[in-house]
Structure 1
């Protein structure tokens, strides 16, 4: 089935997910490797962000990653900035549940998202941005077939040091060839 693997299901985000998303969004350890700006948010700010930016957008598809066995939400993955004319979209993923880190859920969720983007939406190109210090994510993206396109040099400051933002993408034909 399109939105599930052996261990996870992707389901559309709803307002009922605001509380768990708020918890992840305010966990600096979770956001350290994905959010450009670390901050602490009030629940009202998260509610507004989810309802207006995530659920109110016509150019994004946002899914909660759910562990099939426990039925527990463990993260979020999305296609954002969807450009239907040029058949491009940016993808993002966050495993917010720290107990689920390092168990391969991110790889499963990304595969489901790429299947949806390329095989159902018929996108031509899916791209992402990743911080240069996030070596585990870079390794995952390369394993899935993403290629580095360039970088924004020293554009993020974390833990007292400057880091690059790496730009990566994968084309539909490259993905389809890889899954044959």
Structure 2
């Protein structure tokens, strides 16, 4: 398990499936996290989520599938979201990430920054990844601000590549190199003692 200042990232377990089901069927969360893809991701039956979990237990491949973590708060031990890394490339040492805070009362309170810092530290210093990338859609301004604050650079955009709620948006491509990663000093201090 990976510990930050406010959160702990834990591997998904069976007890987390109810929350994953809830978040996967929250239209706002899915739209913010997936842009145009949300139309294909809403209305997930719980059985599909359970089936995916069982399938991953039997045939999980770290390099192609990466890992999905459930985010728990340290203060209350409650699950508040999920994050993941995927598409690891052992030659270029790259990975893609994603984050979703499913419990809205935790938005804008530093949890997203702590999740990203904790995940990036693991990728850069445990898995020896050199570059982390992500994409989002231009209407998800809250996520873009969060990624910028974590040090991600805008690397490109696909113009009018997303269609959300009747309007076109750009796909925003962002990346962060290991040497650009500026870790939260509080996390560095805390990790020295754990």
TM-score by length of 1: 0.91
Q: For structure 1, list consecutive stretches of 5 or more residues without a partner in the other structure.
A: none
Please point out which of 125, 148, 161 is paired with 1:142: 148
Cα deviation for residue 44 of structure 1 reads 1.0
Within 5 Å, give how 1:58-137 maps onto structure 2.
58-59=62-63, 60-137=66-143
How many pairs were matched up?
177
Q: Is the 8 A contact 1:80 1:91 kept in 2?
A: yes
Name the Cα RMSD after superposition: 1.8
Cα deviation for residue 53 of structure 1 reads 5.3
SS in 1 for 2:5: coil
Cα deviation for residue 85 of structure 1 reads 2.0
CA distance in 1, matches of 2:87, 2:21: 22
CA distance in 2, matches of 1:53, 1:45: 12
CA distance in 1, matches of 2:93, 2:50: 30
CA distance in 2, matches of 1:50, 1:19: 12
Q: For structure 2, list consecutive stretches of 5 or more residues without a partner in the other structure.
A: 186-194
CA distance in 1, matches of 2:69, 2:126: 15
Q: Is the 8 A contact 1:75 1:95 kept in 2?
A: yes
Please point out which of 30, 38, 46 is paired with 1:43: 46
**More helix by percentage:** 2
Q: Is the 8 A contact 1:30 1:98 kept in 2?
A: no
CA distance in 2, matches of 1:51, 1:154: 37
SS in 2 for 1:108: helix
Cα deviation for residue 112 of structure 1 reads 0.2
SS in 2 for 1:32: helix
Structure 1 runs of 4+ with >4 Å offset:
none
CA distance in 2, matches of 1:166, 1:131: 5
Cα deviation for residue 131 of structure 1 reads 1.1
CA distance in 2, matches of 1:162, 1:134: 13
